Structure 1
Amino acid sequence: MLKKWFCSLIVIAWLFGNLSSIVVHASSPLSSTSRMEGMLVVDVSNSMKSSDPNSISNEAMKMFIDMASLKGDKIGAIAYSDEVMREKALVKIQSEQDKNDLKEFIDSVEKYMYTDISTGVKEAVKVLDSSHEQGYFPLIVVLADGNNELDPKKPKTAKQADDDLAKAVADAKAKGYPIYTIGLNADGKLNKDVLTNVAKSTNGKFFETSSADKLPAILSEIFANHLKLKIVPVSQVVGNGQFQDIKINVPNENVLEANISLISNAPVEVKLIDPSGKELAIPSDQVLLSKSKTYSMVKLMKPVQGDWTLKVKGVPKDKIDINLVFNYDLQLKLAPLAKQSYKAGDTVKIGAFFEDNGKAISDKDIYQSMKATLFVKDLDNGKTEEFALQTDDQGFAGQFKLGNAANYEVVVKAEDNSFFRESPPQKISVQKTQSAPAVTKPSQTEDDKPFPWLNVVLAVIGALLLAVLVYFLLAKMKEKNRGFSGQIVIEIKDEDTGERTNPQFKKLKAFKGKFRLHQLLSLSPEFAETEHIIFKPASGDTLMLVNNSDCTIEKGGRAIDGKRGLDVKKNDRLRIVLKKVNKSVYIEYIS
């Protein structure tokens, strides 16, 4: 509360001090990257045994994970029935092991009795709220049959469940979290209306399937649509027992990854030939291979430009569906406008160009292979005009003439056959014709001057700020010297062997203000990542845990976000899953 008052007073003082100099300029939102934050939400109720008997939902989630980029995409998973049964916090994917950990979590989830879809959606929104990072695209993928089956022993009614779902969906929409729903319909009991409404209300999309063969197309469309990519069509192959050649063209050097999914009833063999004619080892640092019971996924890392050959060998007469999605790190930017201000009738010149990791790209082949369009929206009447842009080796260029509206918004869209990009919107305000200069008033005498209320208000605010600052500093000093009581029991589990260390009892009375988990682990270099897990004293002999590390904190088998602080009470037992070593630290706070 003190911090909120302090911040509010600073803002008020700033507004008073700068009121006469505030000017509104054209907006230029931060550019987005191709990274995403995907929450996979799956119904694990008893009804899924009939609506999803072959665990297509598991295959879908694993395929989505395999499609995710190794350059920092974040994926989390929630398994729900009429409550959240298991949860995996958003994991920043930086290795194949990160993906394998997520897929092992998915395979470990059991089935439970009842269902309440609002539970899963609400929890997904909550996780994205607590873990969302600027520069990431958030999305939610729900895999369910759309039917609720509430526990009759609990007080929640069907209407309350529907209301909770409506609130969760509205919350997701307001925060810009599109929800893609995949309806599982093996038993023909799919509630299509519920899942369609959830998707449509959040600018997502509804899909339906009763078999695994539709998954590549569905997931490729979700993946591509969300990251502004396009699915590159690849011919279907019917196995003949021999290797068959599939041509794949990598259009330019800015492709980060090429995801090739193959789905068939029987296992397939693959080989890969690069544009120079060299066969690449699979798997290798450049080519990753993932397999499940229904699909294979080949991921090319930073493939060179040119024509590649994918050799596929399937059993005779087996149909093999192949999908291809490229992942780019290109962002479309608008060039700065030539003038700071414009009048009605002025001609505005617009330029746009691609950036790769903050560096402008000059490549005639890239720009000439694309179609670029300028969209000009009249913000007074809502109408939008389109203008084709010209290309050169520096980007796209064009112009348009301003009308009589007060404000316009311009956006450039560029696309080829494998992806599209859209620039952040740029607002242009049109100056109105200036009126005649006002008549100069005679100078005021001392008696005519108004009472300086603004100065008085600023003086009062200044005094209040000083008083609050002093109080705040005193409170911080008191907090810094606050002691701890009780002790923490520590056990370390080697996840490879299953072995645990003997419990170690660490008394806390020697610490003041705060301590780090790494200190309790004797500052061992092996556990250096726990340096950013901090404990502070809290009210009622409790601890406040703040997790600023990449480690996952679990309580009762559920991942818990600790970035904003987590209350740890006496006898609470937590598991800290380390990322850099395959070990877990178990802690218990006792008297």
Structure 2
Amino acid sequence: MVPALFLVLSLAISPYAASTAHAAAPAPSHIDAVLLLDVSNSMNKSDKNKIASEAMKMFIDMLSTQGDKVGIVAYTDKVQREKALLQISSADDKQDLKDFIDGLDRGSYTDIAVGVEEAIKVLQNGSDPSHEPMIVMLADGNNDLNEATGRTQSQSDQELNQAVEAAKKNGYPIYTIGLNANGKLNKQILADLSDKTGGKAFATDSADDLPQILSEIFASHLKLKIVPVQSITANGSYQDVTVNVPNANVLEANISIMSSQPVTAKLTDPSGKSVAIPSGDVLLSKSKTYSLIKLLTPQQGDWKLQVKGVAKDKIDINLVFNYDLELKIDPLSSNAYKKGDKIDIASHLFSNGTQVTLSNLYQNMNAVLLATDIDTGTVEEIPLDNSGDVFKGTFEVKDNHNYELKVRAEESSFYRESDTVKVNAVKGTAGTGSTGAGTGTGTAGANEEPTDTSTSSKTLYFIIAGVLLLLAAGVALWMLWKKSTRGFVGQMVLEVRDGNTGEKTYPQYKKLNGFRGKFTLHQLLQLAPELKESEKLIFTPGKNDRLLVRGGDGLTVERSGRNADASRGMELKSGDRISVLLPSVDKTIMIEYLV
């Protein structure tokens, strides 16, 4: 069965969105995506139902009606077929891409490095600098090299590593969807590709998972939140589903209906008027496993979707909203402050470069000021007032330290974060000067008694020996102190995933230069009581800007998808990631170390 119905709102601005007098304002971000597909014969088993083709076509249909660019690379141990980045300007452009996908054939052998290299070249040759580049890879992760060519696995690995470095350098995250119908997925290599380039890795053996996976990819790339609505079981008649468009800033709504059996749908707008599918502002696209309805600049309010499916067929519903919105902090009066100063913070939303003054949009969001003490690494969350058309509050400087301020505003369907503002509250160095008693020279008076030089020498020897002993003890104590107060470099990125709900917190960036000697995971988590067992995991500084992880008794520590033994100590270098499972609360802490 292929359950799922979800709504995705494309980030790119709709061609029908109103323009403003600020014509010179930068346009909202579009996507430049390369769809990378393994079309070797091994996919006949790992993707026997051709999930990859359906995923790629659904991805294309989810994109905006205009502005995004898509390229396609199909590879075996060579580039089988390729389509350069095509800018989507019409429904015909999308159909052209989907027809290209339908025309792909299988071939012998597999060399992942060849495909990744080519996908990067496609982006390098055609990506717009103002767009958000990405690679979506669908494969089983297994190489099958042609021995007749003399190509070795080490050569392929070396070229793949070089390609990954190129992707990192250019800011091309690789999102991987591992296809595992035959149970022989090489999950590790695909996870490494995603981890090292800033993407995410997924795996599936069923088209059931595609809506959730593609929603996750969009959510990760475009600061969206997936909102579950409800699940229904078809009864053979039309069943009502409410789709709420929360405000006028929604640009495009894509309703994707997936079912193992054919589904028909009707649509009614918030005023109660029946809307034809398709019609002027409602587009329809179909594939063999899904239908996608796209609403252009939909009216705010509750839309009624009526879905009719075959009795007992299960349909799941998810919503993913997207907006042309940017969050900015108003300029501060100064960047230099001192302990005790109170700084007024104001932050506004902007749409297509114009400040949003719809107070209801602000009032539907929760906003916090994230104040990071650079010297200690601690992060303070300060709730902001949202009663008007601004997020506002006050930050009090607690110490003479450097701070970074950032506003995060979110509601049930999306979030936005402002750029970081730096605040210098380091106390100024006082003027220095030297004072001292006057010095002079003279001779002892003639009436002074002569000094016993022998006694003086012995006394001097004892003094020197005592000083040397004190120095040796001092050096030993200093070395012990230095070890216990040795500093850290870099930062950690933390995410907490709830094992019961699957929900994941937004990434938290923790500076490490405020710690000395050692710190616990619990300290990084701001000593949250429910996460107390995380104090069992201890971090100490290692050589060459590395970290040593020790402890974790009773915790499960994973590295690269495998259990790792941290009891004897484990080294982390920049870019390494680990996951720590806290069994008592069923939460997983995902950690990335960056220098």
TM-score above 0.5: yes
Task: After TM superposition, list the pairs within 5 Å mapping 1:292-331 onto structure 2.
Answer: 292-331=287-326
Q: What does the per-residue CA deviation read over 1:147-181, in whole Å, with 9 as the maximum and x for residues that have no partner?
A: 00111122321122122222222332333222111
1:106 aligns with 2:101: yes
Task: After TM superposition, list the pairs within 5 Å mapping 1:50-89 onto structure 2.
Answer: 50-89=45-84
TM superposition score normalised by structure 1: 0.66
Instruction: Determine the structure 2 residue equivalent to 1:213.
Output: 208
Question: For the Cα contact (< 8 Å) 1:256–1:326, is it kept in 2?
Answer: no
Distance (whole Å) between structure 2 residues aligned to residue 256 and residue 239 of structure 1? 30
Structure-2 change in CA distance of 1:160 and 1:54 (3 Å):
same
Task: After TM superposition, list the pairs within 5 Å mapping 1:539-558 onto structure 2.
Answer: none
Shift of 1:188: 1.1
Question: For the Cα contact (< 8 Å) 1:348–1:400, is it kept in 2?
Answer: yes
Distance (whole Å) between structure 2 residues aligned to residue 357 and residue 165 of structure 1? 39
| Candidates 166, 182, 187, aligned match of 1:187 | 182
Distance (whole Å) between structure 1 residues aligned to residue 127 and residue 374 of structure 2? 31
Shift of 1:305: 0.5
Distance (whole Å) between structure 2 residues aligned to residue 246 and residue 436 of structure 1? 71
Structure-2 change in CA distance of 1:275 and 1:369 (3 Å):
same
What residue ranges of structure 1 are gaps of 5+ in the alignment? 1-29, 439-591
Instruction: Determine the structure 1 residue equivalent to 2:147.
Output: 152
Shift of 1:340: 5.1
Instruction: Determine the structure 2 residue equivalent to 1:129.
Output: 124
Instruction: Determine the structure 2 residue equivalent to 1:457.
Output: none
Question: For the Cα contact (< 8 Å) 1:34–1:328, is it kept in 2?
Answer: no
SS, match of residue 380 in structure 1: coil
Shift of 1:376: 1.7
Larger Rg: 2
Distance (whole Å) between structure 2 residues aligned to residue 340 and residue 280 of structure 1? 54
Distance (whole Å) between structure 2 residues aligned to residue 379 and residue 131 of structure 1? 39
Shift of 1:436: 4.2
1:410 aligns with 2:405: yes
Q: 1:220 corresponds to which letter in structure 2?
A: S
Structure-2 change in CA distance of 1:425 and 1:279 (3 Å):
same
SS, match of residue 391 in structure 1: coil
1:261 aligns with 2:256: yes
Equivalenced residue count is 410
Instruction: Determine the structure 2 residue equivalent to 1:249.
Output: 244
Instruction: Determine the structure 2 residue equivalent to 1:37.
Output: 32
1:166 aligns with 2:161: yes
Greater CA drift, 86-95 or 341-350 = 341-350
Instruction: Determine the structure 1 residue equivalent to 2:272.
Output: 277
SS, match of residue 153 in structure 1: helix
Distance (whole Å) between structure 2 residues aligned to residue 114 and residue 249 of structure 1? 48
Distance (whole Å) between structure 1 residues aligned to residue 277 and residue 267 of structure 2? 8
1:357 aligns with 2:352: yes
SS, match of residue 182 in structure 1: strand
Q: What does the per-residue CA deviation read over 1:196-218, in whole Å, with 9 as the maximum and x for residues that have no partner?
A: 12112222221111111211111
Shift of 1:341: 3.6
Shift of 1:402: 2.7
TM superposition score normalised by structure 2: 0.66
Shift of 1:406: 5.4
Shift of 1:112: 1.0
Instruction: Determine the structure 1 residue equivalent to 2:362.
Output: 367
SS, match of residue 337 in structure 1: coil
Q: What does the per-residue CA deviation read over 1:286-306, in whole Å, with 9 as the maximum and x for residues that have no partner?
A: 111111011111111100110
Distance (whole Å) between structure 2 residues aligned to residue 382 and residue 154 of structure 1? 53
Q: What does the per-residue CA deviation read over 1:436-477, in whole Å, with 9 as the maximum and x for residues that have no partner?
A: 499xxxxxxxxxxxxxxxxxxxxxxxxxxxxxxxxxxxxxxx
Q: What does the per-residue CA deviation read over 1:526-564, in whole Å, with 9 as the maximum and x for residues that have no partner?
A: xxxxxxxxxxxxxxxxxxxxxxxxxxxxxxxxxxxxxxx
Question: For the Cα contact (< 8 Å) 1:253–1:305, is it kept in 2?
Answer: yes
Instruction: Determine the structure 2 residue equivalent to 1:91.
Output: 86
Q: 1:303 corresponds to which letter in structure 2?
A: P
Question: For the Cα contact (< 8 Å) 1:261–1:324, is it kept in 2?
Answer: no
Shift of 1:387: 1.4
| Candidates 428, 434, 437, aligned match of 2:423 | 428
| Candidates 173, 177, 187, aligned match of 1:178 | 173
Aligned residues: percent identity? Answer: 54
Q: What does the per-residue CA deviation read over 1:200-245, in whole Å, with 9 as the maximum and x for residues that have no partner?
A: 2222221111111211111111112211111221322222221111
Question: For the Cα contact (< 8 Å) 2:85–2:127, is it kept in 1?
Answer: no
